[in-house]
């Protein structure tokens, strides 16, 4: 239904040319706040000391993602831009990724189509990792979520990106390919999360997901409302009851021939295409943002696609429950008691705590399909936003070793998360007098009780819950991220699968 393309993947290649001789419209050079690297000294000389003068005046400090475009003579590039990395001691590959995204966004704003980015020679990081994050950043910057605007000028997209990274050529090529796939899949997740609820209904989401997954070589099974009822997924069916749109469950399987029978990574993503809150209706302010309540499902879908495209040698099963949560005449009511597919009973105290209901049945189904390790991804609770703000994902799970594996994967991916407690004491908050437990424990520890509700359906498997309520949507634009969907979770899940050797025996 979108009227405009919202992202494009440019051609990305390696250049070994000296920075001064790279033929491009926009040459990006990441620099430090407290250290002049050799490449910056070359630019300073070519600018007649303009860079050094700007440093001395405080006009350009090299702070994180700060931009300076000096007039440079004698260089082949039409324009040269310095992008700050901040202090050298704070350097990370994520800063490099964001610097590349900053450069790409600025190039597009200036209506340029060709960009090159130079990895500083003095930075000690593996060449493959540097190539990967530079490619990811450039592609992430080639995104614009305004898909339904019809009066804006035609968009300008980056068509060509050159990356200069010194190192083993094969390793750099591998890094570029990973970055290309992860950047493109993250943008596809952002595109889905940006879609309005009237365009991306549960069955449309299921159809689009199935098409994208099959094209990537994944095995796909779409459960309609009849099959969902046969499986007695009473929690998911109850959430869907108030809507005229029937629910769907999309099951994706990645099973390369060279993968061992175990472990089997299970990914479950919340796919609520619009969440009104149901009978416990949300305030009207910001309810429009609830179109992104399927961001966890989009992350699981696109992570699975990336795994297939990268031929990750691990078996993986993704389960995405898709529904709307609406206040219709047949809608779920506070006080109702539901029976899950596992047979556990749930008293509903708040119909706006619906995501955990859908995830409960989905986690049970993932276990039934044979997964050995579980990660669920969901825009689950406003309480997590209160606790951690909009920059950090809530990380819950057991055992601690599995939680740490996921945290490290997220750190490599640039998806920051923070471990939260899951002590059994918190279960007292969602006790029920009439059923096995209630679907909410009230305001106190709301993100924790939401996670522990999902845990009730994970058996004894290693399990992690990623609450992306605060990180799935950027409320304010930054130099490296426009306002809107972020695609959080895609790269974390793929990094986790790529690191299977570190957790397969858990």
The enclosing H or E element of 467 equals strand 463-467
Neighbours of 65 (CB within 10 A): 18
Q: In terms of residues, how long is the chain?
A: 506
Q: Which of 282, 289, 344, 390 is catalytic?
A: 282
**51 contacts 60 by C-beta, under 8 angstroms:** yes
d(CA 222, CA 28): 45
Report how far apart, in Å, the C-alpha atoms of 393 and of each of 280, 296, 382, 407 are: 25, 12, 12, 10
CA 432/CA 442 separation, integer angstroms: 12
Task: Choose, from 98, 108, 248, 356, the residue flagged as catalytic.
Answer: 356
Secondary structure (DSSP) of 77-141: SS-EEEEE---GGG--HHHHHHHHHHHHHHHHHTT--EEEEE--TT--S-HHHHHHHHHHHHHHT
Contact criterion met (CB below 8 Å) for 161 and 135: yes
**DSSP label of 164:** E
- Characterize the bridge pairing of strands 315-325 and 271-275: parallel
| Rg of the Cα atoms in the chain | 24
Asked whether the beta carbons of 437 and 453 are under 8 A apart, the reply is yes
- What are the angstrom distances between the C-alpha of 316 and each of 267, 269, 306, 358? 8, 13, 12, 20
Active site residue 149: no
* Category of 262 on φ-ψ map: left (φ > 0), alpha (ψ -120 to 50) or beta: beta
| 484 token code pair | 């809107």
Encode 325-367 in three state secondary structure. Answer: ECCCCCCCCCCCEEECCCCCEEECCCCCCCHHHHHHHHHHHHH
Q: Is 89 a catalytic residue?
A: no
Cβ contact 135:174 at 8 Å? no
Q: CA 489 to CA 295: how far, in whole Å?
A: 9
Given a contact cutoff of 8 angstroms between Cβ atoms, the answer to whether 344 and 456 are in contact is yes
Bridge pairing between strands 484-485 and 67-68: unpaired
Q: Write out the catalytic residue numbers.
A: 282, 356
């Amino acid at each position: 239904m979108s009227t405009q393309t919202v992202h494009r993947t440019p051609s990305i290649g390696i250049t070994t040319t000296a920075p001064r001789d790279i033929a491009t419209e926009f040459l990006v050079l990441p620099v430090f706040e407290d250290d002049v690297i050799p490449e910056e000294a070359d630019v300073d000389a070519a600018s007649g000391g303009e860079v050094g003068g700007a440093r001395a005046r405080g006009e350009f400090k090299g702070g994180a993602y700060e931009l300076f475009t000096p007039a440079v003579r004698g260089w082949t590039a039409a324009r040269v831009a310095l992008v700050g990395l901040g202090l050298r001691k704070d350097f990370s590959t994520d800063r490099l990724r964001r610097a590349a995204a900053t450069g790409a966004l600025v190039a597009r704003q200036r209506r340029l189509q060709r960009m090159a980015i130079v990895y500083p020679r003095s930075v000690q990081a593996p060449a493959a990792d540097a190539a990967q994050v530079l490619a990811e950043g450039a592609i992430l910057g080639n995104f614009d979520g305004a898909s339904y605007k019809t009066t804006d000028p035609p968009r300008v997209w980056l068509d060509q990106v050159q990356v200069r990274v010194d190192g083993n050529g094969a390793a750099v090529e591998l890094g570029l390919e990973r970055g290309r796939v992860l950047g493109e899949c993250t943008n596809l997740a952002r595109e889905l999360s940006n879609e309005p609820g009237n365009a991306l209904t549960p069955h449309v989401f299921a159809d689009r997901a199935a098409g994208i997954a099959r094209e990537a070589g994944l095995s796909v099974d779409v459960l309609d409302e009849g099959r969902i009822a046969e499986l007695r997924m009473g929690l998911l069916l109850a959430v869907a009851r108030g809507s005229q749109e029937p629910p769907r469950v999309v099951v994706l399987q990645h099973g390369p021939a060279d993968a061992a029978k175990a472990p089997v990574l299970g990914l479950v993503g919340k796919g609520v295409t619009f969440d009104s809150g149901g009978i416990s209706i949300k305030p009207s302010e910001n309810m429009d943002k609830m179109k992104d309540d399927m961001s966890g499902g989009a992350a699981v879908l696109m992570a699975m696609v990336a795994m297939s495209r990268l031929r990750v040698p691990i078996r993986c099963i993704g389960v995405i429950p898709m529904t709307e949560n609406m206040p219709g005449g047949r809608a779920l009511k506070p006080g109702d008691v539901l029976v899950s597919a596992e047979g556990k009973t749930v008293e509903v105290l708040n119909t706006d705590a619906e995501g955990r209901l859908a995830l409960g049945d989905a986690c049970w189904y993932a276990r039934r399909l044979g997964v050995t390790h579980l990660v669920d991804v969901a825009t689950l609770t406003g309480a997590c936003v209160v606790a951690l703000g909009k920059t950090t994902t809530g990380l819950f799970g057991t055992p601690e070793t599995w939680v740490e594996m996921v945290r490290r994967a997220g750190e490599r991916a640039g998806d920051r998360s923070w471990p939260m407690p899951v002590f059994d004491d918190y279960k007292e908050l969602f006790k029920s007098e009439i059923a096995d437990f209630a679907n909410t424990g009230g305001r106190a520890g709301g993100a924790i009780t939401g996670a522990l509700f999902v845990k009730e359906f994970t058996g004894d498997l290693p399990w992690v819950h990623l609450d992306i309520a605060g990180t799935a949507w950027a409320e304010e634009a930054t130099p490296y991220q426009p306002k809107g969907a972020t695609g959080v979770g895609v790269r974390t899940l793929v990094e986790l699968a790529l690191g299977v050797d570190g957790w397969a025996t858990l």
